[in-house]
Amino acid sequence: MDGYQRGPADLPRAAYQLESVISKIRLSHLTILSAGMALLSGCDSIPLPVATAGFPAPQMAVLSAPATAPLDPALLQPSGADFHIGPGDQLDIEVMGDISTLSAVTVGPDGKIYYYILPGLDVWGLTLAQARDTVADAMDKFVRNKPPVMLVLRSVASQQVWMMGRLGSPGVYSLGRPTSLLDAVAQAGGLAVSNPAGGTPSESADLSRSFLIRNGHLVPVDFERLLRDGDLSQNVYLQSGDFVFMPSLHSAQVHVVGAVVQPRSVRMTGSLTLIQAIALAGGSEPQAYLQNVAILRGSLAHPQIAVVAVDQVLHGRAPDVRLEPGDIVYVPYSPNRVLVRYMDLILDTFVRTVGVNEGAYAITDKASPVSIGVNINQN
């Protein structure tokens, strides 16, 4: 797996091709818990409530989700699929018996190679064997008796994974051989370490909020079990296009996504409430549905969600809610009748937004933050 530097031209193809990211949380049931609306002394806001006995307060319902489903055992094995050629890959080609024809060629952005006296040959998406046959068929027009052609893969640039966040050397890496998540973390420099003056070095990645995106889905890897406990049952093999993100453990931020003017991570310098966080994100969009604003707290594998009627707070009919570092605030565009799907929607929007923005920032520091909307059938 080799490091690769991207340029601004890659932004539309790379950053915005990051797929939707969600692990479908299978709940046998959801218990609505009490909101516990007692005010803190001398404070106009309340903490995110913990589970207590009784009925939920009308402004808030708290949901607990069990652990995600076990990993598919197939994810723990290298992919058996054939390698498919793409732009940037380098090939060594030779007509057997004629050393003068040996040449290293690079697959161009259009997916074509230019070898010997041949016109451009389209090899994008072909296996190595198919590309070899394509070259041999084309050479048959210029060389008698159709001599055999040798075609081997010299280096890979089209198969890549994103390793972002609190790593020693974050970046985009080429995936030229079977690579597990542990291998990829090691090749990206391992987990970044904080080394305060006079203090003890410690890891700085928040493993509870780390995630892996693949083909529009969150691969349910528990990073804490893998990297802290050494549980190899979480050591999945990576595939081209995977996006791994490890946020900072020490960053006091609240993430505001969904129907807000400027989705962003809001840095906390003291106490921060739900209404303040939405205001710092530019306020809600006109079409925002403020009756079901959600706060997600805890790890992505074991989240808790509070659903808040923000319209009641804005009209002074309910107290504001105090946030904590790492909270995810989601402002929806429409009501959600099915709470399980609502949890999916929040996680999906959050990881999509983080993935796209982190990918864009890796390419250019002038990227503007975006939020990703996800449609879910409300029936």
Residue 173 belongs to domain with CATH number:
3.10.560.10
Provide the CATH number for the domain around residue 120: 3.30.1950.10
Tell whether 121 is covered by a domain: yes
Among residues 184, 211, 246, the one where a domain terminates is: 246
Where is average pLDDT lowest: 117-126, 157-166, 196-205, 361-370? 361-370
Are 295 and 340 contained in the same domain? Answer: yes
At 183, is the pLDDT very low, low, confident or very high (cuts 50, 70, 90)? Answer: very high
Are 45 and 67 contained in the same domain? Answer: yes
Tell whether 24 is covered by a domain: no
Are 258 and 354 contained in the same domain? Answer: yes
Tell whether 270 is covered by a domain: yes
Tell whether 291 is covered by a domain: yes
Are 100 and 142 contained in the same domain? Answer: yes
The answer to whether 24 touches 344, Cβ cutoff 8 Å, is yes
- What domain count does the chain have? 3
Are 357 and 258 contained in the same domain? Answer: yes
Are 280 and 325 contained in the same domain? Answer: yes
Whether residue 37 has pLDDT greater than 80: no
Tell whether 119 is covered by a domain: yes
Among residues 108, 124, 155, the one where a domain terminates is: 155
Tell whether 78 is covered by a domain: no
Q: Which two tokens stand for residue 325?
A: 């570092």
Are 261 and 352 contained in the same domain? Answer: yes
Per-residue pLDDT reduced to its tens digit, 311-353: 999 998 888 889 988 888 999 888 766 566 677 677 777 777 7
pLDDT score at 366: 52
Q: Rounded to two decimals, what is the model's pTM?
A: 0.67
pLDDT score at 30: 25
Mean pLDDT of 189-209: 77
Tell whether 23 is covered by a domain: no
Where is average pLDDT lowest: 134-138, 266-270, 314-318? 266-270
Tell whether 79 is covered by a domain: no
- CA distances (Å), 290 to each of 44, 278, 294, in order? 20, 11, 9
Q: Which amino acid is at 363?
A: I
Are 150 and 165 contained in the same domain? Answer: no
What domain range is 139 assigned to?
90-155
Are 357 and 268 contained in the same domain? Answer: yes
Among residues 106, 127, 155, the one where a domain terminates is: 155
Are 123 and 51 contained in the same domain? Answer: no
pLDDT score at 179: 92
At 370, is the pLDDT very low, low, confident or very high (cuts 50, 70, 90)? Answer: very low
Are 262 and 165 contained in the same domain? Answer: no
Question: What are the backbone angles phi and psi of residue 95, rounded to the nearest 5°?
Answer: -80, 115
Burial of 286 (C-beta count, 10 Å sphere; 0-12/13-18/19+): exposed
pLDDT score at 44: 43
Where is average pLDDT lowest: 55-64, 171-180, 191-200? 55-64
Q: Which of 239, 236, 231, 272 is nearest to 253 (CA)?
A: 272
Are 164 and 133 contained in the same domain? Answer: no
